[in-house]
Structure 1
Amino acid sequence: MYESALADTPRPVLTRRFSVAPMMDWTDRHCRYFLRQLSKHALLYTEMVTTGALLHGDAQRFLQHDESEHPLALQLGGSVPGDLAACARLAEATGYDEVNLNVGCPSDRVQNNMIGACLMGHPQLVADCVKAMRDAVGVEVTVKHRIGINGRDSYAELCDFIGQVREAGCRSFTVHARIAILEGLSPKQNREVPPLRYDVAAQLKQDFPDLEIILNGGIKTLEECRAHLQIFDGVMLGREAYHNPYLLARVDQELFGSDTPVISRAKALRNMRPYIEQHLAQGGAMHHITRHVLGLGQGFPGARRFRQLLSVDIHKTSQPLALLDQAVTLLEGH
């Protein structure tokens, strides 16, 4: 569904206390619909969408989402203030609750287009981009960034970056607590090789107490989340939330104080059936959706068979929904 901002349903309150990171090729609309079955309060992000894709491509396809995905943020990649402002308007018009600027992606492809982590070397440009978007829309504009890039990785330079972007009106910064090394490392290596420096992010919170500082990078458990929330305003999980999605089932109770019972793995997948039926009726393939649920199959007898059903057997069957029902049965009681 291409949702309108005028939908009648009241929106859940947006809070960044716990969020799932934008991840290329992973946090598409099907993934987000699934994650929403597990947590009603987690803030969800799109994959990064470039301004060019929205302004010169199929904007409807990139902006499409289901109303149940809220609270929902669109992450943009770009560095031309006018283009970002135009894309922020599209995001607001189609109902997104937040627009986030990517200043953290280290890949060569985005660097060549002045997108992502390389922008940390251009704090005034980032400030101009933020101001242009803030002037264009009423939803909040936030920034996700690294603690530095090679050649510009001192704490003073990080504070200069934060300070200039704050002057443009940004009040929420999601800090991936590693530097990005822009030459010689792959994006995957940039998520693993530069050491995590939670102490640097904590110093930012101390030195900029008026700002919302969200910690990202290497967080794997809700116990770690609770510890970080003693210092930071929020935590963002990336790959762990994707590979082990069932940890989200406890987020509402443990981090938001909800008294709603923890959903079972089986019920979470069973809830997906009408959505999958609709996708199939529209000509889609079931694996577009079920590739995102494979992480439910962990740590119990039959988990391997569950993953095989939805990753291998799914391509051989003429009855995908029957296969889905079989997978749900394997989850019962776990």
Structure 2
Amino acid sequence: MLRVEHARNLRARLFSYSSLCLHKESQPAVALNKLHTKWLGRWKKSFNNGSLHPSKPVISGEQKEKPFFCLSMFPYPSGVLHLGHQRVYTISDVISRFKRLQGREVIHPMGWDAFGLPAENAAVERGVNPADWTKQNIAKMKQQMELMLADFDWEREVDTTSPEYYKWTQKIFTLLFEKGLAYRKGAEINWDPVDQTVLANEQVDANGKSWRSGAQVEKRVLEQWFIGITKYADALNEDMKVLDQWPDKVKAMQKHWIGKSEGAEIKFPTEVGLEIAVFTSRPDTLFSVQFLAVALNHPVVLEAQKSDSDLRDFVAKCGDGEIDPDSKAGYKLKA
């Protein structure tokens, strides 16, 4: 019976709306922007700190449940929100409002992941100071978020370019360094020749190009800072069991990122005086090893080609594209 009544009411509303649309020329024009500005201003003045929600819990007295922390990814302040932002922050906004109505003490902060080369490059292109450019973008995007009526705790706003924020990043790094968990060593990296920066593997697309600049990524060996997270691989993997609500594919990505693997590192001597260190999870099969495959930019290859003209020619042909990178062509080094 309730469904029938609901359907009747819905049809009545639709008919009323249709009638309104048919006679829209007879309706007075409504300045929506003025209405929005008026009521948003009055709404914000009604609460402390300009927040869109009451500063006091919905349920008076002690909370029946523990506080609820809802954190969506902080955006990079490009200056313009897009539909992706709208989608993510609408979801977190709905969750926060729902939990608040349940009586939870909700923490729903917002901030700006503002450091990075994109801001510097954009500022250089426009001939402005990167700090000024970033502040302008933050102000503009914050205004756009307010127009969304997103229910953020702006009193908890975070800006990663603020000394009040990055002093804690510096402290954490200092502690890691003092404990030997932050160190430098040479390693092969993905180099973006346009942005002049190192890229993570996730920032390189399937065609070997930078996801941001579109440049062909180069492989280089540079000295880099490393954080010894693998020392905590056991604890990190064990804690994955607690995340029972995470999607399996996300947990699989995390396990791959942690990268725990048990085995042995074996060093093979070469004629050029350098060793090739190889990690294997099956050292018991070492007797069946027939060859080692190394990249063209491996230190052993770079050293060997100094006295091997044929090797130099092979490397040059590979670099010029004369040899298909997907082919099985190779060059046999002296053992």
TM-score (norm 2): 0.29
Largest Rg, 1 or 2? 2
